[in-house]
Amino acid sequence: MKLYIDSANIAVVESLLQTGVFYGVTTNPLILREAGVRWNKLSDFAEYALGLGAQEVFFQSWGEEAATLCRHGEQLARLSSQVVVKLPVTRAGLEAAAKLAKAGIKTCLTAVYAPFQALLAAAAGAAYVAPYLGRMNDAGRDGHALIAQMAAALQKTAGLTEILAASVRSPEDVTSLAQNGVRNITLSPAVAEKLFLEPLTLEAVKAFEAAAQELQNE
């Protein structure tokens, strides 16, 4: 199981990476804007996250034409061999992904809403495909069922493309995704924090601590 933090907020990323349960960090331009990380600071951000133990950092390319997406993707990939280049699953994004994959660059096709798009990503040689679970549900689709279809189809076609589920809204989503064969999940800091807040666990720990204190005093 590989869990990722979907944030570019340094303090948040640092605190969550310290738990040792997150494999890497994912971002997109909205996340970077929210955290105030400008393009010229991406190298610093990657270095920092990798220094804290992240194994992969995802940055999204930008531009409307395939050539522009590809050029920016190459720039992003040059930041570190542990950078994965995200691209939208559009015609231009797929064309850029195919070119980057041929050059040995790891890519992730993102903003995926339909199973056939996962197969397009696989055909383009992407390392990851990122379906948006919560947003599928918001749009009235059955996100879990569609992602389960993607997982089954990718497994049957025996490619190397893995699902990286995004727009995950609850710890229960994490379990359901894993049950449906998803091994990589990125979580917003708010959802990630919830993983450590199971009330019955906290209650049990309180009782353990109280007993431990009493043992000290006796």
List of residues contacting ligand G3P (CB under 6 A)? 6, 28, 132, 134-135, 166-167, 169, 186, 188
Give the Cα separation of 63 and 162 in Å (integer).
25
2, 41, 86, 156: which is the annotated catalytic residue?
Answer: 86
Q: Are 74 and 82 spatial neighbours (Cβ–Cβ below 8 Å)?
A: no
Q: Which residues fall within 8 angstroms of residue 58, CB to CB, at 6 or more apart?
A: 4, 24, 25, 26, 27, 83, 84, 85, 86, 108
Give me the least distance between CB of 208 and ligand G3P, in Å please.
Answer: 34
Give me the least distance between CB of 100 and ligand G3P, in Å please.
Answer: 20
Give the Cα separation of 127 and 184 in Å (integer).
12
Give the Cα separation of 59 and 42 in Å (integer).
8
Residue closer to ligand G3P, measured from CB, 28 or 117: 28
Residue closer to ligand G3P, measured from CB, 6 or 56: 6
Give me the least distance between CB of 63 and ligand G3P, in Å please.
Answer: 19
The HSE-up count of residue 16 (CA atoms within 13 Å, CB side) is 29
Residue closer to ligand G3P, measured from CB, 180 or 188: 188
Q: Catalytic residue at 106?
A: no
Q: Which amino acids are annotated catalytic?
A: 86
